Structure 1
Amino acid sequence: MAAASYLLESQEHFKNNGRTKEFSAHTAKVHSVAWSCDGRRLASGSFDKTASVFVLDKDRLVKENNYRGHGDSVDQLCWHPTNADLFVTASGDKTVRIWDVRTAKCVATVNTKGENINICWSPDGQTIAVGNKDDVVTFIDAKSHRSKAEEQFKFEVNEISWNNDNDMFFLTNGNGCINLLR
């Protein structure tokens, strides 16, 4: 929490002084950004086919590592809900990759049926859900790295998320609605 509270103080300082700080993260457009569960690391995913991880040092971000391996843009990423060393990326190359910051390597690559655009980790850390451009959501077992279920939707799926109790799954759609799965 210290990093998170520092970040808030830092943001307030920038706001009061009318300044913003910019940090070079990638060579192309950045699609996604997320904090680790302990608030110590910030990861970003980019059109340049990479993910980067940063640590906050005073009032600046310091790049800890760059993660390469995807064959297309990294469209979204998220951190494991309780393990601050693991994050997952969704890419247009039809793969999901699980990364470990301790080794700075990909620990698993999961092939999917389409170009992935959104991803989330269940609150219990057991399942990764990934949605693709064809409105298919695949549920991946986080331990075996295999698909456990897949569902094709007849509407545009824009974003996905579990509730904190891990017993409901939500999808936003192109019709202005939120759909609930149990």
Structure 2
Amino acid sequence: MNGDQIGNLIYLVVLGTALVSWYVVQNRGGLGKMMQHAALWGLIFVGAIAAIGLWDDIRQDVNPQQSVFADQGRIELPRAPDGHYYISLDVNGVPTRFVVDTGASAVVLTREAAARAGLTDNLIFLTEARTANGSVKTAPVRLETVALGPFEDRNLPAYVNGGEMETSLLGMTYLNRFDRIELSGGKLVLER
């Protein structure tokens, strides 16, 4: 501990002692009730300290994140609370969020994701895709780079959706680049 930390600790001890002393003087007639309140506040304090100490573990459960194991050629995606698997890839150097869709034959970007990746110049919506919500116009594009940690693919064919779409879709044209795709224990595992 350095001098500033020791000074802060002394300040907190003096402040805590003053507060406890004031509380005892104010409630000297109801000592039993005061002890109950003190125990309650002690438990709240211990709970807060435990939550802060365990925050990384709690956050992983509440908002799970993808894991890349480069040495094993493995990516693990936790199942989100909505039941889908989401992945963040760098498309042309720009982080882009996708929902993994093994039922989609291609990679499909939202217009917003395409704009962020610099793909909106001269989009021509020549092709059509059939979705659960009907047909939509799409514009074919080529993604210069698609990267996830050490895994990088170049010149990936994709489409920009002409309709409304919340999240870009990561379809089989990308997923086929993996040797193994497995669903196990609430995780989607991709291996190269």
TMscore range, shorter length: under 0.3
Asked which structure has the greater RCO (Cα within 8 Å, sep 6+), the reply is: 2
Give the TM-score normalised by structure 1. 0.25
Larger radius of gyration: 2
> Would you tell me which structure has more strand in proportion to its own residues?
1
> Would you tell me which structure has more helix in proportion to its own residues?
2
